Amino acid sequence: MFLSDCQTNRQESAFVTKNPNLEYNSYTPSSSDLIISRANYLNKLYGFWLGQSIANWTGLVTEMDKIGNIGEIKTGDFYTREDWGKPDQPSIWGEGKPSDLSPTIDYVFEDKEGVWGADDDT
């Protein structure tokens, strides 16, 4: 994939820097290359990681609670928005206990000086 900007925009190019740890080979684009805007790509990449982070952080309370009805494991229907704010159900690992992070399905916050324990495996 070849990344380029279709427009000449001095303001945007001010944010494009070269990483001294990377080697930049010369390249001549071909007519079959997909050319995309760096600004649009950056915006979509930012949105992707923001969405992944929010999902990871908010999903820790409900992780492995509702995995469907697979073989002998019967966890019931998946959570929906109607479950927001209601009690967390035990996960398949929880031995009958809900999450230690929160008793309800809600956002979980870390203290200002705390370290977030997200298992960032996305």
Which pLDDT tens digit goes with each residue over 73-93?
A: 888 888 888 999 999 988 888
3-state secondary structure 25-67: CCCCCCCCCCEECHHHHHHHHHHHHHHHHHHHHHHCCCCCCCC
The whole-chain average pLDDT of the chain stands at: 80
How far is C-alpha 6 from the chain's CA centre? 28
Q: What parts of the chain have a pLDDT lower than 70?
A: 1-16, 58, 116-122
Domain boundaries defined on the chain: 50-121
Task: Give me the amino acid identity at 78.
Answer: F
Which pLDDT does position 122 carry in this prediction? Answer: 56
Percent of the chain clearing pLDDT 70 (strictly above): 80
Which pLDDT does position 91 carry in this prediction? Answer: 87
Which pLDDT does position 44 carry in this prediction? Answer: 95
